Each structure stands twice: as C-alpha cells, then as structure tokens.
A and B are shown apart, each in its own frame.
Chain A
Amino acid sequence: MTALVIRGGQLIDPAAGVDALKDILLKDGRVAEIAGPGKLKSANGADVLDATGLTIAPGLVDIHVHLREPGQGYKETIATGTAAAAAGGFTSVAAMPNTRPVNDSPEITRWMQAPERGASVRVFPIAAATRGSKGEAINDYAALKSAGAVAVTDDGYPILKDNIMRETLAAAARVGLSVIQHAEDTRLTQGSSMNAGPMAFKLGLRGMPPEAESGMVERDIRLVTELRDARVHLHVAHTSTAAALAAVRQARRSGLRVTCEVAPHHFLLTEEHVGFYDTNAKMNPPLRSAADRDAMIEAILDGVVDAIATDHAPHAIHEKEVEFENAPNGITGLETALGLSLHWLHKEWKLPLGRVLSLLSAQPAALLGLKGRGTLTVGSFADVVIFDPKAEWIFRARETKSKSRNTPFDGWTMQGKIRWTISEGRIAYKAETA
C-alpha cells in the first residue's frame, strides 16, 4: 500500500487533546507519523494531500445505520450506503440487523463484512439480540462477537418482555457486548404514525405518546440496576423525548453504564415539520414537540448525550409516495450529519468544534469499543476526514450517493465542506470541486 501525507491542515483530535497544525503520514492503513508542519521524517515518496486551511479530523463514526443488505438492495446496498457514508465523512458505520433475513447469525454477520460487498468504509455489524428479532430466544452472543458483531439489538422490534431483556443484558455483558435498545413500548403505539400531540390531532393521525419511549428507557434502566453487574452496558438508540433523557441523566448519576445517542433530525426538527403529511418527516421515534427538541439540544450541550447517530434509513421513492400512515419510517442521514451539526451545534449554538467532532467520532467509537477508531494517534487506523470548516453549501437530495433520497433536509444549508474521506489509508471520497 502506498503511503499518503496530509500536509498543512489543522489536526483536531479530541480524544488525544490535539488542536494544532500537523502533518500526518498514513502508511499501510495506519497512522505512521504525526509531526509539526514540514517536520515529518519518513514522508519521502508518499502521495501528498494539501490540506492548507482545512481541518483534519478522525474519520466519523456512525453507530446507527441501516444498509438494507441482505435482502433489500432496492433501497440501499452496503456499497451505496458506505459510499454515502464516505461522502458524509464517516469511515466507520455500525449496521442494524433488521435486514431480510434478520442478521441473527455469524454467517450473515460475516457476509456483511466480506470484501465482495464493495464497502467504501468499514462496516461493523450489530447483530440481532434475539432469534429473528422476535424477542423470544437469545442468540449466541459469543459466536456473533467472534464473527465481528459489535453490539446486539432488536432495533425496531424492542424487547418488551422483562425476562428476555434482563437475559439479553446479562448475556451480552458476559461476552463484552453492548445492548442497544430502540425504546418503544409498542403496546402504546399501535397504528400510530407520528408524535401524539396537537399536530397529530389536527392531522387526524394516531399519535405515539412520549411515555412509550421514556417508559421503556425507565424499565431498561431498572433492569440494569437490578443486575448489579458493572459489565452491563445499555445504550439507548435515537433518544427523542425529554423524559427519556431525564431517565438517562439520572442513571448516569447513579453510576450505571447507560449511554444514549441523538439523531440530527431530533435536535433540529419538531412534529410541525410533518406539515401536510410529508412522509420524509416520518420516522420512528417520530419528530417530537419543541420542548423535546430543546431538551435534545440542551443534553448535547451539557454532555449527557454520548453520540450523534444518524439512523440512516433509506427507502425507495415509491415506498414514500403513499398515504402517510402507510409510508415506512425513516430518513437518510449520512451525508447531512456533519454539515448540520457544524451549522447548528457549532456555529449557531457555540458548541466547540472539538466537542462536535467528538460526538461524531471519539465518543461513539469508545461507546462500542471500536479500537483504533475515532482518534488519530500513531498506530490508530488511517481513518481521516478532511474538510473546509468555513465553507457553506446547500445539500441537494438528488446528488446523494445513497440509493434513496428520503430526506427532510433537501435544500438545507450545511457548514463544512468535506474534501477527502480516507478509510484505512485509501481515499474513499474526494470532492469533485473544491
């Protein structure tokens, strides 16, 4: 593998506490050397990327994406989904198991990581917690872990039964895997397609009450408390309600290993964005009230939120061009997460750049134990994103690298234009124009 030098940029590596002008040598898929400008010792013969005026950061890590393979290649493939990831600055994506069939086996877990899938960046499968994600029989977590699974979840089909969830948490802890829960008491959300509230009433749509989320988070935290095992790690996916965040905040104060992620749409949009039945504003958990949205922002700023994750959920155009109630849940998000986070969290709400990048790289990598990811120190993976932090641009859904275009952010202003994304030393994305 040829070596690559990134020269003249500002390296921001929050995990290492670095924010300085640095030159970086990437070699054999790893970071080989970091030095002050012009000070690299062994850069002879390497290709050079001129990053003058640009920010160099660890490649972003998205711990919640749906790549749709196996089984639903018409929505997305691992190749197209990871191309979108690279275009969005992500070098590691953790793929949810709600594929067809469900990824509940070491075979599928390995299949997803095989070179034949044509991934542009590293894919970390998250395996199903239970057989077929039916919430009944626990899978063989040791086997899944050795096949490469980094966590378990029945995302989309939350584990309702106390005894099964307790067993899941305990069994995952024994092999050192995290349990990710899509917190939704589905007994309270039957037939619902948006947040319960004035907007749902006005539109004549059945609403999902916030308690359906917070009640499940509280139940899960109670189970973690009862297990009294420091190895147990509960991660709350796509937190969307103030009450659920409050429960996570409280659990953390009690010293429990409970973490959470928030998606950009939940810190930027509210139920009002459903407008006149816009199916690109339909996802699960749904867009919530302004108070919930504000609680997401507050928790990001004060550090309770551990990661920004996109819940990238591509769907074909014909699937979304239907009655709101009949449309599938989910929006794409890989190409807009950094631009939205920099624009809103950093520029508007003054979260330091390093904190924003940490929420998109170091913290999610640490949360799932992805060693050598989310940081750029000598020996870590050569996963790098290089962007112009000052550039503003408009996101156009039609220009997406994803197979699908179901995004509510078409036409939104983004901050920070990505110039290169490097995955394990290879250029995975290069901007067509500067």
Chain B
Amino acid sequence: MALLFYESSTRTRTSFELAAKGLGADTTLVSSLSSSIEKGESLKDTGLTLRALGAEAIILRHNSSGAAWLLEAETRLPVLNAGDGMHEHPTQALLDLRTILAHLRPGVEVVAAETLAGVTVTIVGDILHSRVARSNMLLLPRLGARVLLCGPKELLPDLAANAGPGIAIERNFETALRQSQAVMMLRIQAERLAGMQLDLEQYKANYQLTGQRLATQAPEAIVLHPGPIIRGLEVTAGVADGPQSVILEQVKNGVAIRMAVVERALLPNAGQGGRA
C-alpha cells in the first residue's frame, strides 16, 4: 500500500500506516516534499508510478478537493481518501461515528437508519473549509442523528443547511449546546482562509468551548475534536483534557476504523467499495 501525502498529517498518516501494517501489508510513504512531486510530477503520473511499483491501493491525502476521484480514475486502483482539500475526510467521520456510538449507544453492534435517532451532534466552527464537517454531516444523519452546524456566517454559509437531509444551522452556540449529546469542535483553518479577515477575539467570545459553557449548557455531552487542537482558541485546555473530552479515544478508534477500511479495499469480496 502506498501512502501518498500532499499535506502534513500526524494522526491520519500514522494510523493508516499502523492499520495497514497490522493487517500484514507493506507500506511506503510518498510525501510531496520529498518526492518528484516537488519537480512537477502530476498526480496522474505519481499514481501510475506507484501502481507500476506494485501498489495495490493508494491512501491519498491531498490539498485539492476531488483529488481522490482523479487518482482513482487514472490508476483504476482502490483509493482511500485520507482527506481531499475542503471536500471530505471519510475515515475521520467513521471514527467519529465509532466514538459517538461507544458513548451514546454502548453495546450496539449493527448500525441502522434509526441507531442514532434522537441524538443531536453539533459541529462548531470553520465548517466552510472543513472536510471533517462535510463527511460528518453526510454520514451521521444516515443513522438518524440530527446535525446542527454552528458558527459565524464567514465560516458557515446559510446554504450549508442544504447539503443533505438532517442538517440545520444554529448560530447561537449556547442554544446549540443545550440540544446536543455530542459536540464536535473544529480548528480555524488558517491555511485555507485565503485572505479572509476574522476577528479571533470575537470568535472566541462567541464560539470557544469553555469549561463554563460546557458545564452550564451541556454537562452530559461528549466533546470531540478531529485534531490538531489549537488550545486556547476553539477549546480551552481544561475542556480538551477534561472528563467530557473523548479526543484521544477518537485517535485510538482511528486505527481500528482504518484497518476495516483497508481490508475492505484490498480484499476482493469484502463488499462493494463505496466512493467518498
């Protein structure tokens, strides 16, 4: 298996690598900064080269939305999307779901369209630039959860509510928290703001998850974060390390989820691979 990474990554890369190795696969890492990509080799040629070297599947992290589709179309190999631009990060959504199920539906082994009925998951912050938010808002409602999106207009356009069924916007953080059994905090993606001016102090005043907000509005909710966390911006250190935080469980679940995904991609009859 080739891990082809055009962006830096700690969690996703390491857990995919551990997952693949845990299943007995050989892995090789190609990153944009230490390969011929720096010399201008296209994604297509990079993919064809990896295929010629024997890769049977490619795990791709790329800064352009849709890159996984392109790579799959050009190589005809299974491509595991480890995050494409602002588009999707499907394995992150799956490990988030695993974590939510473990806490809110302990003991459930098979999921169905109603498994998360009655559950509200609020996703907070930079929705516009977040592939994690896009994958979660498409996945969670398929199991009956309601997804509330929360953030300022600059980071959360109104039309986000139309991205799929079961999605609504609530701009008041307190109101959203009061309805939530799970709250997912997102990092402000400075690298994707593209010149957008954002008043961070104002943002923190309205949307930072503090110990006090959590205790008064959602004392029972679990707190998720896909990482990397910027402590003191979207969450306080106290919340990140606090009893409601399941952030490190998410990381741990990442390995198991990615083992399942790798297995599905490599085994011929492990089910029809979906694209995402």
Whether B195 pairs with A190 at a CB distance below 8 angstroms is yes
- A187 to B85: give the CA distance in the assembly, Å: 22
B136 to chain A, nearest CB (A): 13
Q: Residue A35 at the B interface, CB < 8 A?
A: no
* Interchain CB contact (< 8 A) of A204 among B70, B86, B159: B86
Q: How far does the Cβ of B71 sit from chain A's closest Cβ, in whole Å? A: 10
Contact with A along B21-65 (1 / 0, CB 8 A): 000000000000000000000111000000000000000001011
Residues of B within 8 Å of A197, CB to CB, are: 159
Interface flags, A326-356, vs B, CB<8A=1, else 0: 1000000000000000000000000000000
Binary per-residue interface labels of chain B (252-270) against chain A in the complex, 1 for a CB within 8 Å, 0 otherwise: 0000000000000000000
Instruction: Check if A323 sits within 8 Å of B131, measured CB to CB.
Output: no
- Range of interface residues on A (Cβ < 8 Å): 10 to 19
Q: How far is the CA of A101 from the CA of B194 in the complex (A)?
A: 30
A321 contact from B44, B134, B163, Cβ within 8 A: B44
Decide if B66 touches A322 in the complex (CB within 8 Å): no
Residues of B within 8 A of A318 (CB): 42
Please report the number of residue pairs spanning A and B whose Cβ atoms sit closer than 8 angstroms.
63
Q: Is B84 an interface residue (CB 8 A)?
A: yes
Of A190, A322, A324, the residue contacting B65 (CB under 8 A) is A324
* B157: Cβ under 8 A from any A Cβ: yes
- Contact of A74 with B by CB under 8 A: no
A427 interface residue, CB < 8 Å from B? no
Bound state CA distance, A325 and B163, in angstroms? 21
Q: Per-residue CB proximity of B116-152 to A under 8 Å, as 1/0?
A: 0000000000001001001000000000000000000
Q: B64 and A325: CB pair below 8 A?
A: yes
Min Cβ gap B76→A in Å is 14
Q: Which residues of B contact A198 (CB under 8 A)?
A: 159, 162-163
Contact indicator B43/A323 (Cβ below 8 Å): yes
Q: How far is the CA of A321 from the CA of B42 in the complex (A)?
A: 9
Partner of B66, one of A190, A201, A203: A203
Any chain B CB within 8 A of the CB of A371? no
**Number of residues on chain B facing chain A (CB within 8 A):** 26
Q: Is A204 a contact of B87 with CB atoms below 8 Å?
A: yes
Q: What per-residue 1/0 map shows which CB atoms of A50-61 lie under 8 Å from chain B?
A: 000000000000
| Shortest distance between the CB of A287 and any CB in chain B (Å) | 16
B177 within 8 A of A: no
* Contact pick for A322, options B42, B131, B162, CB 8 Å: B42
Binding site for B on A (CB under 8 A): 190-191, 197-198, 201-206, 276-277, 318, 321-326
B interface residues with partner A (beta carbon < 8 Å) = 42-44, 62, 64-67, 69-70, 74, 84-88, 128, 131, 134, 157, 159-160, 162-163, 194-195
27 A-B contacts, Cβ less than 8 Å apart? A191-B194, A197-B159, A198-B159, A198-B163, A201-B128, A201-B157, A201-B163, A203-B87, A204-B66, A204-B84, A204-B86, A204-B88, A205-B65, A206-B194, A276-B66, A318-B42, A321-B74, A322-B42, A322-B43, A323-B43, A323-B65, A323-B66, A324-B65, A325-B64, A325-B65, A325-B85, A326-B64
Excluding A276-B66, A323-B62, 8 further A-B contacts by CB distance (< 8 Å) are A198-B162, A203-B66, A205-B86, A276-B69, A277-B66, A277-B70, A323-B65, A324-B64
